């Protein structure tokens, strides 16, 4: 195992951390202040004056955070109230690592990127979490921008729903029936019967991995300068196919083989479900990405490949666009709300959206009962909004909920980690040479943790591993040729979200 390199830091001009801390974070905090000001202005006339006053007062700690960032102040520890409410139980772990920041690496513009970025979003969330009034304690400061982005995704949303509705009404049931039949009648002839439908199921699995992968290309923290109208160009089947060659590592087939490769092993094919597998999604962004994840979940459940899907959203607003539980329920309602996506009530598009919405509602409803059929369960854990890396803390000794998360994920047959930030945490956001193997970079604890995982990530930050020797140089040279004025010597390829990796760990103990 190679020794762990140092983390990316905010004062490294060669890292995207440098511009992130200096340009993107101030923009994001300013947008948060704007959002809060608008929300105060939009309060109903009968709002208690104390709530209005509290809203105005909340602007101050956000401005103070912006000031500290702009003036490169030291990152100070969180005040942890005693007794500590459950929702703040993660703060001592933050403080322990803030205290460990070395002199010269302990300010907003010099600290390790991952730690400081998480502290930034944690501080912002804390402003609201500790508010007196319900209005502000429950307020999602990124809610409006998530909503607007999803509303502007109609083209991609309809395309995917139409594709899925067609599949679910014809192809999927017959495929499932063929596979179930062959499992029931074991023997050489049955294997031949099953071979073709299984191959089609595998092909569909690959397609939905792709959908969920490129759904990650449109996250709002990166799109601070992009118009919402441009988002739909990144979505849709044509865009995905054009991007096929940009998947730099693709272990989808390994994950399929490990989980679904042997249908003979699925002994409990009682009714329609083929297996009793549980697949988890450690979610990333709301809006179109969440929608693409949910469509994937529907495919897994409706095909009978999987019996339970567990979704792991964040428990507080996070990195602008990340999913919090209300985003899931909101999305299901929005799909079925004629005023949200305005479509001809008789159109196939409207019927497809209603169909997808109803299927999701069905599985989410099942999750609340002790259901014997397929179900979608939603579970939060404060660990997902700490600064802690998965290579260090997603294991038996994991801090701030890491051990609990590990216990939970071990029970899944496969865990999808979505997006860039989760990927950075898997690898520790360390300066790995880009030809390092994925398993070496996630480290021995996680690689042998009993958690079988696959990461679907469009690359938007420096840390990338698993590339063939020379590939990074080749990509950088091509990027520099195409973007001669960028001044980044081609490093920008890794911040663009145009390339992706799908990487897998068996988790064998
Ligand atoms: O790299 C830019 C960035 O904002 C990072 O701060 C963060 O890792 C990532 O993008 C967020 O992207 P995602 O939503 O895919 O995790
Ligand atoms: Mg995100």
Confidence tier at 142 by pLDDT (50, 70, 90): very high
CA-CA distance, 389 to 179, in Å (whole number)? 40
Proximal ligand: closest to the CA of 17:
1
CA-CA distance, 369 to 210, in Å (whole number)? 31
Q: Look-up: residue for tokens 């063939």? A: 468
Q: Whose CA is nearest to atom 14 of ligand 1?
A: 219
Q: Look-up: residue for tokens 């955070």? A: 65
Ligand 1 centroid to 389 CA: how many Å?
Answer: 15
Name all residues whose Cβ lies below 6 A of ligand 1: 16, 20, 117, 216, 219, 221-222, 284-285, 319, 321, 419-421, 424, 460-461
Best probe residue, ligand 1, of 29, 218, 222 (max atoms within 8 Å of C-beta): 222
Average of per-residue pLDDT across 18-41: 98
Ligand 2 centroid to 101 CA: how many Å?
Answer: 25
Query: Model confidence over 259-268: pLDDT tens digits?
Result: 988 765 445 5
CA-CA distance, 413 to 266, in Å (whole number)? 13
> What's residue 189's pLDDT?
58
Q: Look-up: residue for tokens 């929005």? A: 334
Ligand 2 centroid to 421 CA: how many Å?
Answer: 6
Query: Model confidence over 178-220: pLDDT tens digits?
Result: 877 776 666 655 555 567 788 888 999 999 999 999 888 865 4
> What's residue 223's pLDDT?
40
- Are 509 and 448 contacting, i.e. CB atoms less than 8 angstroms apart? yes
Best probe residue, ligand 1, of 112, 419, 463 (max atoms within 8 Å of C-beta): 419
Confidence tier at 229 by pLDDT (50, 70, 90): very low
175: part of which helix (H) or strand (E)? helix 172-184
Cα diameter, the chain? 76
> What's residue 413's pLDDT?
95
Residue 279: strand, helix, or coil: strand
Stretch among 52-61, 234-243, 411-420, 453-462 having the lowest mean pLDDT: 234-243
> What's residue 388's pLDDT?
98
Output phi, psi for 174, to 5 deg.
Answer: -70, -35
CA-CA distance, 138 to 147, in Å (whole number)? 16
Work out the end-to-end distance of the chain between its first and last CA atoms, rounded to an integer number of angstroms: 16
Ligand 2 centroid to 459 CA: how many Å?
Answer: 12
Ligand 1 centroid to 220 CA: how many Å?
Answer: 9
> What's residue 173's pLDDT?
84
Best probe residue, ligand 1, of 27, 421, 463 (max atoms within 8 Å of C-beta): 421
Please, which residues bridge with residue 311 across strands?
A: 281, 378
Q: Look-up: residue for tokens 């103990």? A: 509
Proximal ligand: closest to the CA of 121:
1
Continuous H helices in 337-459: 348-367, 390-393, 402-410, 419-427, 438-447
Q: Which ligand 1 atom is at minimum distance from the Cα of 419? A: 15
> What's residue 254's pLDDT?
96
pTM, to two decimals: 0.93
Torsion angle in degrees (nearest 10) through CA of 431, 435, 437, 440: -30
């Amino acid at each position: 195992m190679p020794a762990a390199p140092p983390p990316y830091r905010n004062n490294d001009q060669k890292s995207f951390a440098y511009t992130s801390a200096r340009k993107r974070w101030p923009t994001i905090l300013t947008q948060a202040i704007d959002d809060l000001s608008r929300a105060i202005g939009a309060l109903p006339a009968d709002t208690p004056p104390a709530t209005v006053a509290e809203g105005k007062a909340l602007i101050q700690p956000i401005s103070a955070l912006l000031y500290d960032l702009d003036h490169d102040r030291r990152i100070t520890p969180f005040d942890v109230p005693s007794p500590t409410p459950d929702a703040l139980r993660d703060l001592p772990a933050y403080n322990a690592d803030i205290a460990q920041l070395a002199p010269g690496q302990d300010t907003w513009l010099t600290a390790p990127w991952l730690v400081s970025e998480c502290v930034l979003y944690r501080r912002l969330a804390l402003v609201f979490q500790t508010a007196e009034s319900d209005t502000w304690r429950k307020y999602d400061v990124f809610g409006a921008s998530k909503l607007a982005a999803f509303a502007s995704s109609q083209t991609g949303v309809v395309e995917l729903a139409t594709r899925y509705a067609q599949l679910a009404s014809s192809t999927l049931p017959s495929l499932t029936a063929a596979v179930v039949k062959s499992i029931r009648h074991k023997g050489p002839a049955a294997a031949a019967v099953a071979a073709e439908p299984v191959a089609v199921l595998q092909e569909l699995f690959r397609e939905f991995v792709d959908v969920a992968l490129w759904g990650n290309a449109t996250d709002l923290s990166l799109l601070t300068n992009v118009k919402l109208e441009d988002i739909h160009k990144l979505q849709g089947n044509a865009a995905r196919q054009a991007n096929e060659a940009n998947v730099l590592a693709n272990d989808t087939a390994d994950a399929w083989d490990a989980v679904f490769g042997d249908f003979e092993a699925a002994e409990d094919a009682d009714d329609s479900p083929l297996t009793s597998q549980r697949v988890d999604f450690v979610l990333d962004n709301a809006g179109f990405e969440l929608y693409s994840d949910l469509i994937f979940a529907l495919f897994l459940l409706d095909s009978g490949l999987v019996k339970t899907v567990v979704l792991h959203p964040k428990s507080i607003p996070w990195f602008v666009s990340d999913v919090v539980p209300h985003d899931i329920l909101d999305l299901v309602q929005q799909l079925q709300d004629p005023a949200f996506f305005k479509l001809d009530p008789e159109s196939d598009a409207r019927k497809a959206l209603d169909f997808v919405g109803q299927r999701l509602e069905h599985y989410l409803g099942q999750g609340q009962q002790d259901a014997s059929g397929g179900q979608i369960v939603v579970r939060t854990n404060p660990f997902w909004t700490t600064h802690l890396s998965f290579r260090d803390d997603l294991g038996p000794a994991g801090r701030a909920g890491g051990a609990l998360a590990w216990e939970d994920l071990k029970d899944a047959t496969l865990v999808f980690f979505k997006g860039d930030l989760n990927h950075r945490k898997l690898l520790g956001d360390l300066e790995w040479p880009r030809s390092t193997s994925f398993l070496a970079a996630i480290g021995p604890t996680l690689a042998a943790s009993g958690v079988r995982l696959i990461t679907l990530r469009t690359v938007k930050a420096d840390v990338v591993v698993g590339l063939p020797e020379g590939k990074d140089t080749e990509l950088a040279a091509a990027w520099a040729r195409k973007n001669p004025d960028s001044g980044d010597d081609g490093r920008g390829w890794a911040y663009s979200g145009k390339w992706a990796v799908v990487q897998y760990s068996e988790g064998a103990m």
